[in-house]
Structure 1
Amino acid sequence: MDADAVLDIAGVGFGPANLALAIALDEMDSAGRAVTARFFEAQERFGWHRGMLIEGATMQVPFLKDLVTMRNPTSRFSFLSFLHTRGRIVDFANTKTFFPLRTEFHEYLAWAAEQFENRVSYRSEVIGIRSATGPGDVEAVDVSVRVGGRDEAPRTHRARNVVIAAGGRPRMPEGLPESERIWHSSRLLDGVQAIAGSKPSSFVVLGSGQSAAEAVDYLHCEFTDAQVHSVHSRYGYSVADDSSFTNSIFNPVAVDHHFAASESVRRSLHAYHANTNYSVVDEGLIRRLYQTSYLESVTGRRRLHVHKVSRLVEVTPVGERLRIVIEFLPDGSTTTVEADALVCATGYLRADPASLLGDLLPRCRRDGQGRLLLDRNRRVATDESVKCGIYVLGYGEHSHGLSETLLSLTAVRAGELAEVLTKELV
């Protein structure tokens, strides 16, 4: 490593959070506040939930909550600017919706990411962050990056600040690893493509949230001769609360309210409003699935099977299929299904930045539950020996509120952090 080549900012991950930060920094560059930044992304190219880019599926947030508009409505990186470059702005206006197709929004994100190819290193997994100056004061950090395969020797990049936005990883049921026939919903489209040639006749989908409902709907429509089994631990899908007053919990000022609140108030807010995001489904999709189920009960040609108040108790590979035992919880009775694939729409685990921090971790402060303590600007609280900044995006839902892991405040969050970083580097 060239010891003189010190980055102002090293970014871990290049999803929407750090992409929005790159844009905010770029726009501040044009205002004469230039910083040197490089982002390290493990994927081979930009991608955001590619496995769930189902044809016809729409975003659950309005296009105004893109990478920039809530921060800078005149930005050339807005969704509307993207539509203009594609010659689709008039046609989009005629759709009379605030909620673009998910595939189109992904196209927008990729379009924005392409404009930062010179600041991103793809196929580059950050495996550790350590003090660059040993046991004394920490003026910079060394970011260890593995490029390509696991056999490659790590490379080191030195930086005055690091921004960790590693996102989440798929959460599978305990003891049930992924395989060619068992997929997390994040791999839905790839998994389907791999077995489509064998003409699958039966699927099981585990979960009660938006991804589960979309997977059920997609499989039922795509494989018109197949049986689709939806397994819930509750009676069925619950409606997402996206009403206007409730949505104010995703307003920028709500972050200030949440951060200033006591721990008991924070827990109450999360309990009150978890149904804006967790294990909930858009009402229109629930209605469509229910109508499908009812129609099939009338015609007697049932393909959609809803297993209420149930759980999986056994999943056994049998040749190229799976034998899945489903227990009805009220009386313990079981149903056995022979399936071609099992889709686990069981959510994500947020990456814990502590696992990357090496010898820096003992200098970091934690809260009463062992989580890294963040200040309002999402900087990890440390002892006075750490002079450089360690920032975390997408981790502080407990301290900054429900919007922390979502797109809603991506633009605002990036702008706040860019302001802080550029001021510190002046």
Structure 2
Amino acid sequence: MESSDTMTYDVVGAGFGPANLSLAVALQERREGGTPRPTAAFFERKPQLGWHRGMLLPGAKMQISFLKDLVTFRNPASPFSFVSYLHAMGRLPQFVNNQDFFATRQEFHDYLEWAEAKLAHQVTYGAEITQIRPPASGRRGEAIEHLEVEVRGDSLPGGTRVLTAHNIVISTGLVPRMPAGVQRDERVWHSSEFLDRFTAWNPGELNRVAVVGAGQSAAEVVRYLHDALPDASITAILPPYGYALADNTPFANRVFDPSAVDDYYYGSERSRDVIWQHHRNTNYSVVDDEVIKGLHERVYGDEVAGRNRIEFLNLSRVCGVKRAADETRVTVMSVATEETRELDVDVLVCATGYDPMNPAPILGELDSLCLRDARGRYRVERDYRIATAPELRCGIYLQGGTEHTHGLTSSLLSNLAVRSGEIVASLLDRRK
């Protein structure tokens, strides 16, 4: 049975990962001349907050400074900062004594959960926004001043709820990408689910494991498997010749500065292409120096001991997977020779990256009112709002899927705090 909420929210959020969590904090902290704080509700299909839980490997480090948290670049004095979290946990002196700008991934996830606990009343878990539509009472061609939001989930009374909202913020997260023609199952995993899948197995049953990919996740999984499965053989399938080093040097990292978003957004097509050409190696298909060195030390140690436990198939790609009972046969093609070989493995792990989120399914009929560029991509304003037809006066904001307009930071944590502040400022300005 469908239940309706009589309140009209200033903003309803689809998804509640770090991006919309940061937005919720920015809304919580924003007061404008004594006016009421914007009303908000968020819906997340997962049962709890989760950020790459499948890759919370022991000792794995963040690739960004702890200062690039939910709030600091927007409000350094915020009680929601990572430093405030450390102080609350009684670990601030010990963290400082580490003399390290990079927290472990596990600790950063714990920080996200700590911040989320203060705002849990705004979030409904186990519930997914399935459709956003104009009000049923509206007439065709009339101005659309608010939207109806349909939410479904087992956690809702009757399984369905309908809300009205002036603005929508979509942040449903990245979509795991698999090699062409390869489907996930109990023996073919994407790295996003790695730990959940791995811990469900008896390690003694994993004797042959293959990992495809050449980025940070792929290298971390190979390293982890080497340590966790001392008797197993591991095959690393690398599209390039070897793992490439991430450029995290100071000048290159300026591409993630808040000001770099303006440089990209207002730049020419040529300047945007140059940024991607020269700075893609700050994040995509690259690996941190510490991970590369640690993995190479393990490989070298095996050679010294006369045990070659990791086989590297470079310049190679997976072109097919066949499943027969407990057997998984992986067909690998060499890009260099175009020859193929078959591997029989217990498990194949695909650390093959992600595709950006696609808002079209939940936008439904509203998608036709969203403007697109010549290449069919959403036209997105500087405030992360989709450009729409004049009759749609509500804001549809994207947190993700805006790399073509806002640059490299669109799917990363680096600009989270500033972006959330810009979206809240836009919401308040449009409310006036």
What is the TM-score when the length of structure 2 is the normalising length?
0.95
Asked if 1:351 is matched to 2:354, the reply is: no
Asked if 1:260 is matched to 2:266, the reply is: yes
- Correspondent of 2:227 among 221, 240, 255: 221
Q: 1:230 Cα deviation (Å)?
A: 0.4
> Residue 149 of structure 2 contacts residue 162 of structure 2 at CA under 8 Å; is this kept in 1?
yes
Q: 1:35 Cα deviation (Å)?
A: 1.2
> Residue 145 of structure 1 contacts residue 155 of structure 1 at CA under 8 Å; is this kept in 2?
yes
Query: What CA distance in whole angstroms lies between the structure 1 residues aligned with 2:325 and 2:365?
Result: 48
Q: How many pairs align?
A: 426
Kindly report which structure 2 residues correspond to 1:130-141, keeping only aligned pairs within 5 A, or say none. Answer: 130-132=133-135, 133-135=138-140, 136-141=142-147
Who is 2:48 aligned against? 45
Who is 1:274 aligned against? 280
Who is 2:120 aligned against? 117
- Correspondent of 1:87 among 87, 90, 94: 90
* Comparing 306-315 and 394-403, the one that deviates more: 306-315
Query: What CA distance in whole angstroms lies between the structure 1 residues aligned with 2:150 and 2:59?
Result: 40
Counterpart AA for 1:48: W
* Comparing 49-58 and 302-311, the one that deviates more: 302-311
Residue-by-residue CA offset, 1:181-222 (whole Å, 9 max, x unaligned): 110000110111121254311110000000000010011111
Q: 1:3 Cα deviation (Å)?
A: 6.5
Question: Which residues of structure 2 form unaligned runs of 5+?
Answer: none
> Residue 14 of structure 1 contacts residue 39 of structure 1 at CA under 8 Å; is this kept in 2?
yes
Asked if 1:400 is matched to 2:406, the reply is: yes
> Residue 203 of structure 1 contacts residue 339 of structure 1 at CA under 8 Å; is this kept in 2?
yes
- Correspondent of 1:59 among 62, 68, 72: 62
Asked if 1:100 is matched to 2:103, the reply is: yes
Asked if 1:71 is matched to 2:74, the reply is: yes
Query: What CA distance in whole angstroms lies between the structure 1 residues aligned with 2:139 and 2:202?
Result: 54
Return closer, same or farther for 1:92/1:134 CA change in 2, 3 Å cut-off.
farther
Q: Secondary structure in 1 aligned to 2:202?
A: helix
Residue-by-residue CA offset, 1:104-136 (whole Å, 9 max, x unaligned): 000000111111111001111111111123422
* Comparing 357-366 and 411-420, the one that deviates more: 357-366
Question: Which residues of structure 1 form unaligned runs of 5+?
Answer: none
Return closer, same or farther for 1:298/1:336 CA change in 2, 3 Å cut-off.
farther
> Residue 234 of structure 2 contacts residue 310 of structure 2 at CA under 8 Å; is this kept in 1?
yes
Query: What CA distance in whole angstroms lies between the structure 2 residues aligned with 1:42 and 1:392?
Result: 18
Query: What CA distance in whole angstroms lies between the structure 2 residues aligned with 1:257 and 1:295?
Result: 46
Return closer, same or farther for 1:298/1:2 CA change in 2, 3 Å cut-off.
closer
Asked if 1:7 is matched to 2:13, the reply is: no
Who is 1:161 aligned against? 167
Residue-by-residue CA offset, 1:369-416 (whole Å, 9 max, x unaligned): 111101100111112111111111111111111011100010010111
Return closer, same or farther for 1:120/1:30 CA change in 2, 3 Å cut-off.
farther
Who is 2:247 aligned against? 241
Query: What CA distance in whole angstroms lies between the structure 2 residues aligned with 1:247 and 1:89?
Result: 26
Who is 1:366 aligned against? 372
Asked if 1:17 is matched to 2:19, the reply is: yes
* % identical equivalent positions: 43
Return closer, same or farther for 1:39/1:256 CA change in 2, 3 Å cut-off.
same
* 4+ residue runs over 3 A deviation: 1-4, 29-33, 332-336
Asked if 1:425 is matched to 2:428, the reply is: no
> Residue 6 of structure 2 contacts residue 163 of structure 2 at CA under 8 Å; is this kept in 1?
no
Query: What CA distance in whole angstroms lies between the structure 1 residues aligned with 2:215 and 2:244?
Result: 8
> Residue 240 of structure 1 contacts residue 280 of structure 1 at CA under 8 Å; is this kept in 2?
yes
Please provide the CA RMSD for this pair.
Answer: 1.8
* Comparing 96-105 and 414-423, the one that deviates more: 414-423
Asked if 1:27 is matched to 2:33, the reply is: no
Counterpart AA for 2:213: G
Query: What CA distance in whole angstroms lies between the structure 2 residues aligned with 1:255 and 1:314?
Result: 39
Query: What CA distance in whole angstroms lies between the structure 2 residues aligned with 1:13 and 1:23?
Result: 15
Q: 1:287 Cα deviation (Å)?
A: 1.8
Q: Secondary structure in 1 aligned to 2:67?
A: helix
> Residue 63 of structure 1 contacts residue 99 of structure 1 at CA under 8 Å; is this kept in 2?
yes
Kindly report which structure 2 residues correspond to 1:286-325, keeping only aligned pairs within 5 A, or say none. Answer: 286-325=292-331
> Residue 148 of structure 2 contacts residue 162 of structure 2 at CA under 8 Å; is this kept in 1?
yes
Q: Secondary structure in 2 aligned to 1:85?
A: helix
Query: What CA distance in whole angstroms lies between the structure 2 residues aligned with 1:398 and 1:30?
Result: 32
